[in-house]
Amino acid sequence: MTSTIEPEVGRSRLRKEDERLITGRTRWTDNLTLPGMLHLAVLRSPFAHARITSIDVSEAKTKPGVVDVFTGADFADEQGSLPCAWPITEDQKAPDAPALAVDTVNFAGEAVAVVVARSDYEAHDALEAIEVDYEDLPVVLDMEEAIKDGADLVHSALSTNTSATWIFDSSEAGTGGEVEAAIADSEVVITRKFRQQRLIPAFMEPRSVVVDPTGGQFTMWSATQIPHILRLMLAMTLGVPEHKVRVIAPDVGGGFGGKLQVTPEEVIAFLAARRLGRPVKFTESRSESLLSAHHGRDQIQHLTLSAKRDGTITGLKVELLADMGAYLRLVSPGVPILGAFMFNSIYKIPAYRFVCTNVFTNKVPTDAYRGAGRPEATFAIERMMDELAAELGVDPLELREKNWIKHEEFPYTTVAGLTYDSGDYEAATAKAKELFDYDGLRHEQAERRERKDPVQLGIGISTFTEMCGLAPSRVLGSLSYGAGGWEHAAVRMLPTGKVEVVTGSSPHGQGHETAWSQIIADQLGVPFEDIEVLHGDTQSSHKGMDTYGSRSLTVGAIAAVKAAEKVVTKARPIAAHMLECAEDDLEFAGGKFTVRGTESSTTIQDVALAVFAAHDLPDGVEPSLDSEATFDPENFSFPHGTHLCATEVDTETGRVTVRSYVCVDDIGKVINPMIVEGQVHGGLAQGIAQALFEEAVHDEGGTLTTGTFADYLLPSAADLPSFTTDRTETPSTSNPLGVKGVGEAGTIASTPAVVNAVVDALRPYGVHDVEMPMTPMRVWQAIRTGQADAGGVGAESGGGLGSIDASSGGAQ
Amino acid sequence: MRITVNVDGTSYTDEVEPRQLLVHYLRERLGKVGTVVGCDTSNCGACTVHLDGHSVKSCSVLAVQADGCEVTTIEGIARDGKLHPVQQAFHDNHALQCGFCTPGMIMQSIDLLADNPDPDEQAVREGIEGNLCRCTGYQNIVRAVRDAAHHMRPGAGPEAERVEDGSGLRAPSSIGGGE
Ligand code: FES
Ligand code: FES
């Protein structure tokens, strides 16, 4: 009997995780109640920068239901400093980051005291009885001001607001030429200044943590993306033995990088539970979340792009200011560095220099947010390509094509020193152009311009690549990242032939249970339904690097493949023994060991039962089919794609409508097309939201004025169009499945596509840029400023960034 | 204060604080943790339930306001061990990723379909405008709602019609927020 099992990989399998989610039987951390559990509420600083002169908690302690009240002084000896795992330079300045402020507060929202009470309502009531006296300190909010000589300081002990300056120079690295010389020798040079506004990850499930200290074994449930790293960091920061800590990330309601953190609240809940010897729960409100969970992006980017008249790019210089906020969190300093490798994108650029200055301000810390560094870079280069095309008077797509790496040139080592393994930008672009009706829309655009239609049409392009699968450990090491990039997995054959796959990757909506089941079903030839995927618990998955940077599939799932291969290898001598043949005579396919050229066979599931009984195993064979494996790839993977966006811009009101959006992504081999499509949709929504809606805004005092969902505008269904998504498939050569990763692609590519489309619509009005988010007000103002400029000095001069001076020099 | 509420077909009489929100009553007192809290300003819709057959944001309703009412949560819509057609459609169309917005989204969609059994794309988008999802980009949610509409057409099953109790009780819009 030959097996005709259809491969699972490539099928749109409906998700295993859905049942509990659609029926409301989900294991959110906040759903958990333990016997004797107490509730913790946090008092937060209303000031962005102040000295705490006194805190009086005596009255709060007498309030109904209150068990105890703690301040920073209570935990000063044990709380340590929240960890930063990425010292990007040897002389990086990193202030102490206490979970509970001790004598100063450095951002509005910083925790200053906590109440632990019988109920959440009682804990919040008692917060009001805490008296804190503050003495104002000067507030530093503006990065450009912060780096000037004599600026007020965020941390006076550091005597500077600069945390670190990090440089990559292609002439020093030997990956390209000297950029100043390249620029000096070029026929066309454009300089622009862009602002990456501050965003808030805004996962829908507020952060929640429960700590149970029973028996000196600390079990922490947390809505986190990183249970493994969190466990390690708690052990290292708080001096608690690692083997006494178990971290469980049950169902987690979204992360987007926002739950890639060791949070003050996790540490405080841990300390409170340890002090009181009882389980403690903390769940943040949405306002607390917006105020104090880390923010993302927030850069000022100065770019210089040089080219020949024929459009050939000759050099790229990037100078960044990156806002760290008040403290360095887990990977804050490294976020802009991830972008350093992506500013050159898919283009052949002969000379490149990147300088980044990480700056402290009195704002909530920034850290990873979907794409982390790569959206910022992609935005900047894709905007510059459009600006260069406008300057040269050529079609922006043609300009890109002239400069991009051609299909036959892969593998290709870029000016930033990365080797792109595979890609086919021609194929993705051709498909996208056709689906989009590029020529038809250009035609319509010309017509609308001709008849001075008040609603103008703009076409935005973003051809992008990203580095996925944050791994090769040695590369991360060379960037001083504090951990490796491998991932771990185990495959356990149970006696009845069912399979448990344990993964160190810890999902929060990505569908690992389904995708990993598909992959392992093919590897072992067992049914999809016979596989259970375990994750997010350091007791079952004792090793792991967790989920961020689109690494789950490209690194995590490959570890599972390796573990499955070991299971087959272990089963082989046992199957040979059972079938009384030589090992070399065995074939394994579709879950079956067959003696070559005969009908004689046994399944791997039968072998599992034989192993369990262990009555008759070959000599010296261990009675186990369980295996584990760790995978550390040789290279990143490089998904790419072409995104095309058509926007209609009402020149009278400034209103922008996304009329159509087409993207063709190449993410290599696809495990589950349905899940991939969903990830792309969600990513696009987040990227479009950066272009049009979202921004964290502070007033002059440093108070967050977008502290609720009424002010921080997430797009609703009515704000977005339906997207047309498609794929090309150029397998990655960096891993055995040929997968590339997709979690961040949509977000990375869509922001510049939308901004380019709006600017494209408005070029006849003398507009060269519109600052994000492109609210109707900003668009309207850009049109007015553009027209005034065009009337005065000619439409083609200068960058024009609304209120920002585009002619100013570098970031230094 | 003493209230009596029928939740998912079971009647409960409880003493509650006057300020307790319905969502907290459901979650903490009744253990109905399927309904979740995503914001504190009634902007996200994660807490959407039905109060006397109409969707409301249960974070903007006090438990005492539900006295004498019938509440349906995500845990009460499957019948006879079968998923509600909207639940089924969410699964079939991959209309959820992390799933945190999903109970509220499903409850809102059921109400939307009761008002408009055959909504076009725009009507669905506007009908779920008060429910935020950060993961899906909404496209598959829209697809799911329209797919459910298709399966719920008259003749397709009892869920196709709204169950009206005839009392004429409707959550006043001042406490509703279920836009
Ligand atoms: S929890 Fe957000 S609307 Fe109720
Ligand atoms: S599925 Fe995650 S918020 Fe909607």
CB contacts under 8 A, A 636-675 vs B, are: 674-675
| Residue reference for tokens 């009337």 | A791
Q: How far is the CA of A203 from the centre of ligand 2 (A)?
A: 8
Q: Which residue has the least CA distance to atom 4 on ligand 2?
A: B133
Calpha distance B112→B94 (Å, rounded)? 19
- At residue A164, φ and ψ (nearest 5 deg) are -165, 155
Give the model's pLDDT for residue A791.
Answer: 64
**Secondary structure letter of residue A725 according to DSSP:** E
**The pLDDT of residue A69 is above 80:** yes
Question: Closest to B102 (Cβ–Cβ): which among A21, A287, A718?
Answer: A21
B100 to A686: CB separation less than 8 angstroms, yes or no: no
**The pLDDT of residue B173 is above 80:** no
Calpha distance A738→A396 (Å, rounded)? 31
- Tens of pLDDT, residue by residue over B2-45, are 999 999 999 999 999 999 999 999 999 999 999 999 999 999 99
Give the model's pLDDT for residue A787.
Answer: 85
Calpha distance A553→A529 (Å, rounded)? 20
The reply to whether A422-468+638-789 and A486-631 are identical in fold is yes
Give the model's pLDDT for residue A788.
Answer: 85
What is the Cβ-side half-sphere exposure of residue A756, based on CA atoms within 13 angstroms? 32
Q: Which helix (H) or strand (E) holds A572?
A: helix A558-579
B99 to A251: CB separation less than 8 angstroms, yes or no: yes
**The pLDDT of residue A171 is above 60:** yes
In this complex, is the C-beta atom of A684 within 8 Å of any C-beta atom belonging to chain B?
yes
In the β-sheet with A50-56, what is the strand arrangement from edge to edge? A104-105, A50-56, A131-136
State the average pLDDT over residues A89-96: 96
In this complex, is the C-beta atom of A682 within 8 Å of any C-beta atom belonging to chain B?
yes
Domain A486-631: CATH architecture, name and number where available: 2-Layer Sandwich (3.30)
In the β-sheet with A601-603, what is the strand arrangement from edge to edge? A586-589, A592-595, A601-603
Question: Closest to B98 (Cβ–Cβ): which among A19, A205, A746?
Answer: A205
Q: Is A254 in the pocket of ligand 2 (CB under 6 A)?
A: yes
- Tens of pLDDT, residue by residue over A659-702, are 999 999 999 999 999 999 999 999 999 999 999 999 999 999 99
Please state, for a pLDDT cut of 70, what percent of chain B lies above it: 86
Give CATH for domain B85-152: 1.10.150.120
In this prediction, does ipTM exceed 0.85?
A: yes
What secondary structure does DSSP assign to A520-551, as a single string? HHHHHT--GGGEEEE-SBTTTS-S---S-TT-
The C-alpha of B164 sits at a distance from chain A's nearest C-alpha, in angstroms, of 23
- Asked whether the beta carbons of A563 and A642 are under 8 A apart, the reply is no
- Asked whether the beta carbons of A557 and A519 are under 8 A apart, the reply is yes
What confidence category does residue B154 fall into, taking pLDDT thresholds of 50, 70 and 90? confident
The C-alpha of B155 sits at a distance from chain A's nearest C-alpha, in angstroms, of 24
Between CA A663 and CA A666, with CA A665 as vertex, the angle to 5 degrees is 160
What confidence category does residue B163 fall into, taking pLDDT thresholds of 50, 70 and 90? very low
Please state, for a pLDDT cut of 70, what percent of chain A lies above it: 97
Best of B41, B59, B139, B179 to mutate (most A CBs within 10 Å, chain A): B139
Q: Is B136 in the pocket of ligand 2 (CB under 6 A)?
A: yes
Please state, for a pLDDT cut of 90, what percent of chain A lies above it: 92
- Tens of pLDDT, residue by residue over A530-557, are 999 999 999 998 899 999 888 899 999 9
- Asked whether the beta carbons of A679 and A508 are under 8 A apart, the reply is no
CB contacts under 8 A, A 511-540 vs B, are: 511
SS3 percent helix, strand, coil of chain B, rounded to 5, is 35, 15, 50
Q: Which of A557, A750, A769 is nearest to A661 (CA)?
A: A750
Give CATH for domain A422-468+638-789: 3.30.365.10
**The pLDDT of residue A799 is above 50:** no
Q: Which of A685, A248, A641, A678 is nearest to B93 (CA)?
A: A678
- Asked whether the beta carbons of A663 and A432 are under 8 A apart, the reply is yes
CB contacts under 8 A, A 109-128 vs B, are: 121
Residue A269 CB partners (closer than 8 Å, separation 6+): A40, A209, A210, A211, A220, A280, A281, A282
- Tens of pLDDT, residue by residue over A191-207, are 999 999 999 999 999 99
Ligand 2 pocket test, pick from B74, B133, B138 with the greatest ligand atom count within 8 Å of Cβ, gives: B133
What is chain A's mean pLDDT, rounded?
Answer: 95
What confidence category does residue B174 fall into, taking pLDDT thresholds of 50, 70 and 90? very low
Give the model's pLDDT for residue A309.
Answer: 97
Q: How far is the CA of B46 from the centre of ligand 2 (A)?
A: 9
**The pLDDT of residue A24 is above 60:** yes
Considering only CB atoms, which chain A residues are within 8 Å of B90?
Answer: 18, 22
In this complex, is the C-beta atom of A296 within 8 Å of any C-beta atom belonging to chain B?
no
Question: Higher model confidence: residue A796 or residue A64?
Answer: A64
- Asked whether the beta carbons of A533 and A513 are under 8 A apart, the reply is yes
Q: How far is the CA of A254 from the centre of ligand 2 (A)?
A: 7
Query: Mutual orientation of helices A227-238 and A264-276 as an angle, nearest 10°?
Result: 60
**Secondary structure letter of residue A294 according to DSSP:** P
**The pLDDT of residue A793 is above 70:** no
CATH superfamily for B2-72 is: Beta-grasp domain (3.10.20.30)
State the average pLDDT over residues A85-89: 96
Give the model's pLDDT for residue B155.
Answer: 66
What secondary structure does DSSP assign to A97-127, as a single string? --SS-SSEE-STT-EEEEEEESSHHHHHHHH
* A773: preceding bond cis by omega (within 30 degrees): yes
Q: How far is the CA of A207 from the centre of ligand 1 (A)?
A: 15
Q: Is B26 in the pocket of ligand 2 (CB under 6 A)?
A: no
Give the model's pLDDT for residue B156.
Answer: 59
Q: How far is CA A572 from CA A578, A593, A605, A614, B26, in A?
A: 10, 8, 12, 15, 54
What confidence category does residue A469 fall into, taking pLDDT thresholds of 50, 70 and 90? confident
State the average pLDDT over residues A148-155: 97
Residue B174 CB partners (closer than 8 Å, separation 6+): none
State the average pLDDT over residues A494-514: 96
| Residue reference for tokens 């790569």 | A374
**The pLDDT of residue A445 is above 60:** yes
Q: Which ligand 1 atom sits nearest the alpha carbon of residue B47? A: 4
SS3 A147: coil
Considering only CB atoms, which chain B residues are within 8 Å of A18?
Answer: 90-91, 96, 99
SS3 percent helix, strand, coil of chain A, rounded to 5, is 35, 25, 45
- Tens of pLDDT, residue by residue over A370-407, are 999 999 999 999 999 999 999 999 999 999 999 999 99
Residue A18 CB partners (closer than 8 Å, separation 6+): B90, B91, B96, B99
* DSSP strands (E only) in A313-368: 313-325, 352-360
Question: Higher model confidence: residue B176 or residue A494?
Answer: A494
Amino acid at residue number A35: P
What is chain B's mean pLDDT, rounded?
Answer: 89
Lowest-confidence segment of A309-313, A465-469, B90-94 by average pLDDT:
A465-469
Question: Closest to A286 (Cβ–Cβ): which among B40, B87, B133?
Answer: B40
Best of B40, B44, B133, B134 to mutate (most A CBs within 10 Å, chain A): B134
Q: Give residue limits of the domains in chain A.
A: 422-468+638-789, 486-631
Amino acid at residue number A653: T
Torsion angle of C-alpha atoms A114, A118, A124, A126, degrees rounded to 10: -70
Q: Give residue limits of the domains in chain B.
A: 2-72, 85-152
Q: Which ligand 1 atom sits nearest the alpha carbon of residue B36? A: 1
Lowest-confidence segment of B33-42, B61-70, B149-158 by average pLDDT:
B149-158
Q: Is B97 in the pocket of ligand 2 (CB under 6 A)?
A: yes
State the average pLDDT over residues A430-451: 97
Residue B13 CB partners (closer than 8 Å, separation 6+): B2, B3, B4
**The pLDDT of residue B96 is above 70:** yes
Residue A224, both tokens:
């986190």
